Chains A and B, each alone.
Chain A
Amino acid sequence: RPHSCPRHPGARTMLPLLLLLLATAHGLNTIRYTPTLASSSLGGLITASTFTLEQPRCVFSEDPGNPVIWLVVAVPEAVPTFNDSVEPGSPERAFQRFPGSAPAYMTLNTTLLNYPCPKRPGDITVLRVGSETSCTKDGTRPTCNGPLPGPGPYRVKFISLNGSVPVEQTAWSEPITLRTAQPLSDIPAMGSGHSAGMITLTSILSILFAILLAGLVAMLVFWGSDTYGGSSTFSKPEAVTVRRYNTHHVYDQPAARL
C-alpha cells in the first residue's frame, strides 16, 4: 500500500537555519541594533541633502583583527539583494555613481577606536552623512561622504570588515526621507485684513473732521448773515473816541452810528 512519506516536522525551520549557518559560516554576525537618527533637538538633523545618525557606540564587539566599520547607504530597493562581500571603493559602491549605477555606497570608515564605549555623558556623538562637499564629483574618492543627491528615502546600516571579509553588521534602518524645499512663490504675501484699531481710528477721526467742517460752514453762514450782535455778544475793549461837535455849523451832523 503506497504511503506518502510524512514530512519531517522540522522542515519549515530547516531553511532559515541553513541560511543562518551559511551566514555564520562566512563569519558575518548580525547585531540586534538599528541605526537611528540622532536626537531631534539638533536643528540640522535632516536637511535637503544631509542627515545625522547616532554613532554606533557599544554596538560592535572587540575583535583582535581590528576591523574597519563602514556605513552603507542604500536605496530601499537595493536592501533585499544587498551583497555584503562587495568591497567598498569598488565601482558598484562608489558614491559618485549613486543612485544610478550603484544602488548603495559605503563611506565614513573608521575603527572601533573612534567609537569608545561607554559613551561619555554630555558628549554629542553623531555622524553627519553628506558633509563632504569637496569630493562630490571626484571619481578618485569613491568613499566620499558627499551630500545625498535627492530627498530619498534611504536606508543605512553599519558593517565591519576585516580586510575585505565582513565580520559584523547591524540591521537596516528605517527609511530616512530628507526635506524637500517648497518654492518660495508659495508664500502668501498679502497680509491679514484690517485690524479693529485701524477701523476705530479712521471712523472716529472722520466723524470729528466732519463735525469741524460743519462747524466751519455754520460759522461762515453766520458771518454772512451777521446783522445783529445778540444779547450774549461782548464788546471788545476799545479806545474811547471823542467826537467833535461843531456847534456853529448846522450841516455838520455826526453820521448815525449803531
Chain B
Amino acid sequence: MAKSDDGIRILQGLLVFGNVVIGMCGIALTAECIFFVSDPHGLYPLLEATENDDIYAAAWIGIFVGFALFALSILGIVGVIKSNRTLLLVYIILMLITYAFEMASCITAATHRDFITPNLFLKQMLERYQKTETDNNNDIRMTERVTDTWDKLMLQNQCCGVRGPSDWQEYTSAFRSTHSDADFPWPRNCCVLDARGSPVNLDGCKLGVQGYYNSNGCYDAISGPMNTHAWGVAWFGFAILCWTFCVLLGTMFYWSRIEY
C-alpha cells in the first residue's frame, strides 16, 4: 500500500509539473501569436491580396488556445491535488477540445506555408502594383495597400521586384500599361534614393548601373518573416501538443485510479 501510495504521489507530482509547463507554454504561445498577428514587417496586405491569409487565422486561433491552455493547466493542477474526479473529467474534456483547435491551427499554418512561392507574389505584384483601372472600392483599397507595401518594402530592403528588376521587363503588368518602358524600365523605388526620396542618379538607374539601382529581388525579405511566422505557429504548437498528449494520458490514468 505504501509503495503504491508513493507511486501515486510521484504521478501527482509529475502531473502538476506537466501542467505547470503547459501553462507556461500557453502563455508563450499567446505572446508569440500576438507578435505575429501584429505584423511587425507590414507584409499582411500582400497576403491579403492573394486571398491566402490563413496563416494569420492560425495565429489568431493560437492566441486563444494559449489562454485556454493556461487556464486549463490551473484547473488541472487543482484537480490533481484535490484528486477530484469531476474536476479532472472536466479538465480532460476541455483539454481535448483545446487540443483539437490547436491541431487545426498547426495544420493550417503548415499547409498554407506551402503556398508561399515566388510566383504567388510575382503575379500579385504585376497585377496590382500601381494599377489604375480598379473595379470597386474593395479593389481600390487592396491596390493601394499592395502598392504602399511594395514601395516600403523596396525602400527599406533595397530590393526590386520579386526575383529582381528583370521581373518588370519579362512580364506585362499594370505598371507597364501606365508607365512607358523607356522612362520607367522599373519603378522609381527600385532606384537608390537619397534622403529626400529622389533618385541619386536617374540615368544610372534607368541604365541599370550597379550602385544606382537595386538589383536583387525582394523575395527573401518577404518569405523570411512569413516562414518564421508559419513555422513558429506550426512547430511550437506541435511541441506543445506532444507534451500535452503525455500529460493527458497521465491524467487519464490518474483519474482511473482515484477511488470513487
Instruction: Determine whether the beta carbon of B182 is less than 8 Å from that of A147.
Output: yes
A182 within 8 A of partner (CB): yes
Instruction: Determine whether the beta carbon of A50 is less than 8 Å from that of B181.
Output: yes
A201 within 8 A of partner (CB): yes
**A70–chain B nearest beta-carbon distance, Å:** 20
A215 within 8 A of partner (CB): yes
User: Using an 8 Å CB-CB cutoff, how does the interface string of A101-129 with B read, 1 for contact, 0 for none?
Assistant: 00000000000000000000000101010
Supposing A49-B181, A147-B181, A184-B126 touch, asked if A216 and B92 sit within 8 A by C-beta, the answer is yes
User: Using an 8 Å CB-CB cutoff, how does the interface string of A39-52 with B read, 1 for contact, 0 for none?
Assistant: 00111110111101
Instruction: Determine whether the beta carbon of B99 is less than 8 Å from that of A234.
Output: no
**A258–chain B nearest beta-carbon distance, Å:** 10
Given the complex of chains A and B, what is the CA–CA distance between A123 and B13 in angstroms?
77
Supposing A42-B209, A208-B245 touch, asked if A192 and B106 sit within 8 A by C-beta, the answer is no
**A95–chain B nearest beta-carbon distance, Å:** 13
User: Using an 8 Å CB-CB cutoff, how does the interface string of B102-123 with A read, 1 for contact, 0 for none?
Assistant: 0100110011011111011011
CB-CB nearest in chain A for B249 = A215
Cross-chain contact of B107 among A44, A130, A179, A201 (Cβ < 8 A): A201
Supposing A128-B207, A236-B258 touch, asked if A201 and B238 sit within 8 A by C-beta, the answer is yes
Instruction: Determine whether the beta carbon of A208 is less than 8 Å from that of B171.
Output: no
Cross-chain contact of B96 among A52, A188, A194, A212 (Cβ < 8 A): A212
Near A by CB (< 8 A), chain B positions 164-213 give 165-166, 169-173, 176, 180-183, 185, 203, 206-210, 213
Instruction: Determine whether the beta carbon of A49 is less than 8 Å from that of B238.
Output: no
Near A by CB (< 8 A), chain B positions 114-170 give 114-117, 119-120, 122-123, 126-127, 165-166, 169-170
Provide the main secondary structure of the chain B interface: helix
B4 within 8 A of partner (CB): yes
CB contacts (< 8 Å) of A211 on chain B: these are 245, 249
Cross-chain contact of B252 among A41, A124, A206, A215 (Cβ < 8 A): A215
Q: List 17 A-B contacts (CB under 8 A).
A: A42-B208, A43-B210, A44-B206, A44-B208, A47-B169, A49-B182, A147-B180, A147-B182, A179-B170, A181-B172, A187-B126, A191-B120, A195-B114, A205-B238, A209-B103, A213-B96, A236-B258
**A3–chain B nearest beta-carbon distance, Å:** 69
Supposing A181-B169, A205-B103 touch, asked if A45 and B208 sit within 8 A by C-beta, the answer is yes
CB contacts (< 8 Å) of B165 on chain A: these are 43
A233 within 8 A of partner (CB): yes
CB-CB nearest in chain A for B166 = A43
- A-B pairs, 3 with minimum CB distance: A43-B208, A44-B208, A147-B182
Instruction: Determine whether the beta carbon of A184 is less than 8 Å from that of B173.
Output: yes
Instruction: Determine whether the beta carbon of A191 is less than 8 Å from that of B252.
Output: no
Chain B interface extent, by class: 35 or more
**A102–chain B nearest beta-carbon distance, Å:** 19
Near A by CB (< 8 A), chain B positions 79-101 give 83, 89, 92-93, 96, 99-100
Instruction: Determine whether the beta carbon of B208 is less than 8 Å from that of A208.
Output: no
A16 within 8 A of partner (CB): no
B248 within 8 A of partner (CB): yes
CB-CB nearest in chain A for B206 = A44
Given the complex of chains A and B, what is the CA–CA distance between A218 and B99 in angstroms?
18
Instruction: Determine whether the beta carbon of B114 is less than 8 Å from that of A216.
Output: no
Give 9 new A-B contacts, CB below 8 A, not counting A187-B119, A197-B234: A43-B185, A43-B207, A195-B113, A198-B113, A198-B234, A216-B96, A222-B256, A233-B258, A236-B258
CB-CB nearest in chain B for A228 = B260
B41 within 8 A of partner (CB): no
Given the complex of chains A and B, what is the CA–CA distance between A211 and B209 in angstroms?
62
CB contacts (< 8 Å) of B123 on chain A: these are 184, 187, 189
CB contacts (< 8 Å) of B213 on chain A: these are 43
B30 within 8 A of partner (CB): no
Among B165, B203, B207, B255, residue most surrounded by chain A Cβ atoms (within 10 Å): B207
Instruction: Determine whether the beta carbon of B111 is less than 8 Å from that of A194.
Output: yes
A183 within 8 A of partner (CB): yes
A81 within 8 A of partner (CB): no
**B150–chain A nearest beta-carbon distance, Å:** 15
CB contacts (< 8 Å) of A219 on chain B: these are 89, 92, 252, 255-256
